[in-house]
Structure 1
């Protein structure tokens, strides 16, 4: 009995024979025919590959009458098979052993550019081994804070240049262009004003790599709490020159057409929905030299188009479609045929994706494949493990848990799940929702929600977020709030002009420490630690810029004398509450706003997460020890039990952004 592995191995063998002996026409024709037969046996999903293989026999070996006759019979039968088959594209995953989770395909689809370890890389797609396996990555730059969390970098249409986001020598937000074969990266001479959402960093290059299009904000919007509305699309010569503003406000995610004459982008349309200000995002096209934009999509109110890309011939635009109230998660791709002006010529073709995506589209290649970063299936839950390590136990149903915190009596664990504060018995069980009484529009913000339980077990401190309309614009308030552990009305204990997050209680329950950002400085938050009375009132600043506080979890030591925090210099430090220099407790591989730390109840050790692992280090510093959980998964959020015997943590398995190729979709597009 033949297996899939046997048939795939045979296809590889016959392909090698054709490649090695092209002049041996008889053997080559038979090998090509056998390839078709193997694909046919693999079933309906491979029917199109079988059809292509049989057609090659007819086209490439017309003198081989016997093989051609069999191939034609197979082609005739395959037409009927394909007519019965559902009209769907095929999706193929590209395996990248050291998966970066981001990247954009070159126009010919043969290379993927991505960022990892603060560098820019390229990798062959595929490599030399298998058609679904990438090759060996090559680094193009030294570490330079290169970043691309949403696949926002860009290739020129000729494949010679790559534009990417990084930091310059002054640690300021910058855009660079580099040859795709390597060399010295050139900083584009433009002053940027972008906030920290990854979609705002989408770039595009003209076909010859000489002009960059990007989105930025007006200078006067630097200190604004608004995120989307002030953005506009503009172009600038890569080597320096005049910046040209092409659009009005709320314009993002630009993309040059293949001929460089047009630019597609996403335009926001705010509208009132009761007391809320919502947005509808649509794809637009504008001449690259400026002019009147043309609307390409007509998304329903509250829904969003994202990441427009052009077909190689410039006659279609594909984009990700997000349903209303779905956040940045989507399983739907739309393709719209367009005229020379950019005006749509037919309704969109809507294609369901096999998995969720949160990224920009990774490219539409010259051989009509669309690259997508799709998220592998997830399993997330709260677990507990002995503080010395061991076998972890799942204590919550699977969901979207964040910030697990123990009650002082050790009987329950409180955490955030799908936007709601809930609790479970510490030994495991069903979730119980902690209801909000008044002000139901406030929700726990992430990252930095906190969920910290007061020492008397009566209150929860969290970072509460709410949007409202001011001067006909959407504004966010993110403040520290408290609520009873039984639920009820919440109380704001801070009111910030920027954002307050990552709250934690003092051990006597009289105060709450938190992180406040001092406003935007060219797109960078400047965070510091502050303390407020538990009932609200006067706020005291604990750290200053020289202390290098990173925007992440903090925790008050059990003796009340210091607060531990992640530092921008990749260390964990503790700073005296009454003033003084911070002490380095641990050096860490990297920092992240979703990493957490927690003191042991006796204050002698500090647990923290880094790169999906739990570590414990003595309070004086020393060699960190990894806490084994027995799980092949990642841990990010943690809480130490009041008796010191266990650590609760969120287990995150899956959710990796993987490169897929969507193929065989052109025949589905409405014309």
Structure 2
């Protein structure tokens, strides 16, 4: 990295210097949530470099990392005090999320909030005397203010709701927040004088974590339509009109300004498939079937155990391919933009997710291998906000179980019956249920859920005859994903400890072990129907930290927003949507 990514210019109106976009650093153990210091000389971010998720500092001039906090629990969402002497951050080290302070010169931490529910998203007032945060149970959250020296928090909002993160306006007169009460997410200004809030975005997209520049009356936030986020900047005086800072890259999130309002910092999530392997559980041998050149995502084994069907990246799209496990030619199925392919147990049909310009959301489809015809099943089902994978077939090849978003950060399990095209709900409650799969005997469904409370995750089994739900793995803050049950009752899933994902085998009696022969970075373990083989994906995941310098200078895609004449200069509003919006939260990064 060249020296131009070092110290930033001093505060002042920047119009002459040219816009520059720099990748400052990357961290394979990172969790995002970075914040740049007010003077722009360094940033703080969360990282699992030593196991626990702690705060780390990156010095921009020297390109060096050094550790801040230590200890168990997740330390995340750090924000600088105006004088750069202290950080307010969220930590789960006390058992649930609370706001803590880290005094840099003393390297000392202290707890600031003591509520019975999760408290998170701290942010400092411009004079450093107060800290705002959000607390309460889900859908019953409120915005609070607390003195930076401690004391009882005072609510800012009159009624609880689905409130997200807030930051102060530069003059301290109010907060700018995002909330999920529109069915997606909207940004609003919340005055501190008791007057009515003013909505800034129209709530048709996922707009979250807003922050206002001190140089110009513009707000930056993350915006997602379907999939990745972009950093969006728009004027406060002309609601709903703005522009993306970067459009051709990756999943960009959580912008924050330097104190002078001239430079914008954000992080980028990068997630690429590096291969699909097959484990023969009878011989404990592992064979690579798909290489990193295809950037594979998800695969599973045909019922006869000879072929692998998988999704891979090709020219910016997700395509579905079939390959002989023993080697040979690869066949691309004519499914268009498709993901999460799944063989039927009888081997005659492939289920998958598909979308095109006429279908703004992903839909569930099947492909008949004998007749080479596709059927899209869910276009007429309008109540789900989105449909997403993985899917799983019932043992008799007549039904598909899947997860669908129903409200912001809530998802239910559903079953599509291919005999009559009906879709019915298995769960309907305020939790996030995902990654369902059938039990081998077809009497139940195994799934991942937040129904443990406090946004922790566990595995559960639903008995379809009674509707009863039983815990298979107790909820906790350890990341567990994609449970699959084998015929003997063994549960297979990926387990992330210290940021490294391993394949985990949990026996029916509750004992378990890591399958060390498989290796790290395991995603989407999918067993064959008899449990003798297992396909899994390995991925490369990293967090990159970027700095947009001189965003009001020549060559900047958002420079004209500073002039207050965005409409005349052709600034456009958000993309028009004709369908529902899916949450941008990637539940792999909980």
- Note if contact 1:395-1:424 (Cα within 8 Å) is conserved in structure 2: no
Residue number among 349, 362, 368 corresponding to 1:419 in the alignment? 362
Whether 1:281 and 2:205 are equivalent positions in the alignment is no
Structure 2 equivalent of residue 253 of structure 1: 165
Residue number among 485, 507, 519 corresponding to 2:440 in the alignment? 507
Structure 2 equivalent of residue 329 of structure 1: 229
Whether 1:243 and 2:157 are equivalent positions in the alignment is no
Whether 1:373 and 2:307 are equivalent positions in the alignment is no
Whether 1:106 and 2:42 are equivalent positions in the alignment is no
- Note if contact 2:86-2:104 (Cα within 8 Å) is conserved in structure 1: yes
Deviation string 1:431-465 (CA, Å, 9 cap, x unpaired) is 9343138743136655xx44111233222122344
Residue number among 517, 523, 548 corresponding to 1:661 in the alignment? 548
Q: Quick one: structure 1 residues 234 and 511, their matched pair in 2 at CA, closer, same or farther if it must change by over 3 Å? A: closer
1:397, distance to aligned residue in structure 2 (A): 6.3
Alignment map for 1:554-565 (pairs within 5 Å): 554-557=483-486, 559-565=487-493
Structure 1: where are the runs of 5+ without partners? Answer: 1-7, 13-47, 53-88, 129-134, 195-199, 271-276, 337-343, 468-473, 614-632, 635-654
Which secondary structure state, in structure 1, belongs to the residue aligned with residue 108 of structure 2?
coil
Alignment map for 1:433-472 (pairs within 5 Å): 433-436=375-378, 439-442=381-384, 446=388, 449-467=389-407
Which secondary structure state, in structure 1, belongs to the residue aligned with residue 456 of structure 2?
strand
Bigger proportion of residues as helix: 1
Whether 1:597 and 2:534 are equivalent positions in the alignment is no
Q: Quick one: structure 1 residues 575 and 106, their matched pair in 2 at CA, closer, same or farther if it must change by over 3 Å? A: closer
1:264, distance to aligned residue in structure 2 (A): 1.9
Q: Quick one: structure 1 residues 436 and 295, their matched pair in 2 at CA, closer, same or farther if it must change by over 3 Å? A: closer
TM-score w.r.t. structure 2 length? 0.68
Whether 1:292 and 2:194 are equivalent positions in the alignment is yes
1:243, distance to aligned residue in structure 2 (A): 0.6
Deviation string 1:173-194 (CA, Å, 9 cap, x unpaired) is 2322213457132222322634
CA distance in 1, matches of 2:175, 2:194: 12
Structure 1 equivalent of residue 244 of structure 2: 352
- Note if contact 2:117-2:135 (Cα within 8 Å) is conserved in structure 1: yes
1:363, distance to aligned residue in structure 2 (A): 2.1
CA distance in 1, matches of 2:329, 2:115: 52
Structure 1 equivalent of residue 275 of structure 2: none
Structure 2: where are the runs of 5+ without partners? Answer: 5-13, 271-314, 355-360, 554-558, 565-590
- Note if contact 1:465-1:479 (Cα within 8 Å) is conserved in structure 2: no
CA distance in 2, matches of 1:214, 1:390: 57
1:204, distance to aligned residue in structure 2 (A): 0.7
CA distance in 2, matches of 1:386, 1:184: 57
Which secondary structure state, in structure 1, belongs to the residue aligned with residue 164 of structure 2?
strand
Q: Quick one: structure 1 residues 389 and 116, their matched pair in 2 at CA, closer, same or farther if it must change by over 3 Å? A: farther
Which secondary structure state, in structure 1, belongs to the residue aligned with residue 245 of structure 2?
strand
- Note if contact 2:412-2:429 (Cα within 8 Å) is conserved in structure 1: yes
Alignment map for 1:456-605 (pairs within 5 Å): 456-467=396-407, 478-484=412-418, 488-494=421-427, 498-520=431-453, 523-525=454-456, 527-533=458-464, 536-539=465-468, 541=470, 543=472, 545=474, 552-557=481-486, 559-566=487-494, 572-575=503-506, 580-586=509-515, 595-605=523-533
Q: Which has the larger radius of gyration?
A: 1
TM-score w.r.t. structure 1 length? 0.60
- Note if contact 1:556-1:563 (Cα within 8 Å) is conserved in structure 2: yes
Whether 1:266 and 2:177 are equivalent positions in the alignment is yes
- Note if contact 2:461-2:471 (Cα within 8 Å) is conserved in structure 1: yes
1:381, distance to aligned residue in structure 2 (A): 4.0
Structure 2 equivalent of residue 4 of structure 1: none
Structure 2 equivalent of residue 153 of structure 1: 78
Q: Quick one: structure 1 residues 457 and 347, their matched pair in 2 at CA, closer, same or farther if it must change by over 3 Å? A: closer
- Note if contact 1:173-1:192 (Cα within 8 Å) is conserved in structure 2: no
- Note if contact 1:283-1:305 (Cα within 8 Å) is conserved in structure 2: no
- Note if contact 1:421-1:434 (Cα within 8 Å) is conserved in structure 2: yes
Q: Greater relative contact order: 1 or 2 (C-alpha under 8 angstroms, separation 6 or more)?
A: 2
Bigger proportion of residues as strand: 2
Structure 2 equivalent of residue 59 of structure 1: none
